[in-house]
Amino acid sequence: MFTIGRRRPVTYVLGQPVKSFPEIAPEVERGTILRITEIGEPVLHTPAREVTAFGTPELAQLVDDLFTTMFVAEGVGLAAPQVGVDLRVFVYDVEDEEEDRHVGHVVNPVLEVFDGPEDEVEVSDEGCLSIPGAYAPLARPVKAVVRGFDQHGNPVELVGEHFLGRALQHEAQHLDGTLYFDHLTPEAQEAVIAEMHEERAGVLEERRAMSEALGEKPVEYPAEPLR
């Protein structure tokens, strides 16, 4: 008997397929919620430092805290400068177009984008947890590769296309002090700032509610952003 079934989604942890994985990443339960820095804060606009010590409790805690903070903010990626730490580390939890889930972290990532004349580029709305509530269309190469290490110093290689590729580019560029905002025209930047001011209060209230649902104390944000 021949049947046609629906493909079962796969979860990839640090780029490798796993048989099972919890709905909420284990790091979320271990971490602490931190304040997400916002556009205009110097740490977001300065290249981050390379990690030189692997396998430390401090690095493990940073990864956990990034996951917890990302979860509360309902994001798909978060870089260390976004919690005020100038180290080259980011975490991600992304579902791609095939409904496959990609979860993990990268330390000292090196980004390779495929932006030659024969490579595909696509335009899609993009946002950032450090510019709460604002989105803008942005053209990016479809494919990206990130190579780096896990927190223990083991090599990691991630290959992403479309949404995953965009997320990898977005997070890796954070570590160079570049936001998606920096790729926009002045007119688009002005619109993004205006939208952030309109939407920010609602976004922060959602983060507060998510924190309380997790049983954690919500963090406090400034009354107004710097921009």
Give the residue numbers marked as catalytic.
Answer: 171
β-strands 101-113, 143-149 pairing: antiparallel
Residue 174 annotated as binding?
yes
Residue 105 annotated as binding?
no
* Angle, in degrees to the nearest 10, between helices 186-213 and 57-72: 100
H helix or E strand, kind and range, residue 105: strand 101-113
Residue 183 annotated as binding?
no
Q: Residue 150 in contact with residue 105, Cβ under 8 Å?
A: yes
Backbone angles phi, psi at 137, to 5 degrees: -70, 135
Per-residue tokens: 146: 């990130």
How far is it, in rounded angstroms, from Cα 124 to Cα 48? 27
Query: Could you tell me which residues are annotated as the binding site?
Result: 128, 170, 174
Please enumerate, by residue number, every residue annotated as part of a binding site for Fe cation: 128, 170, 174
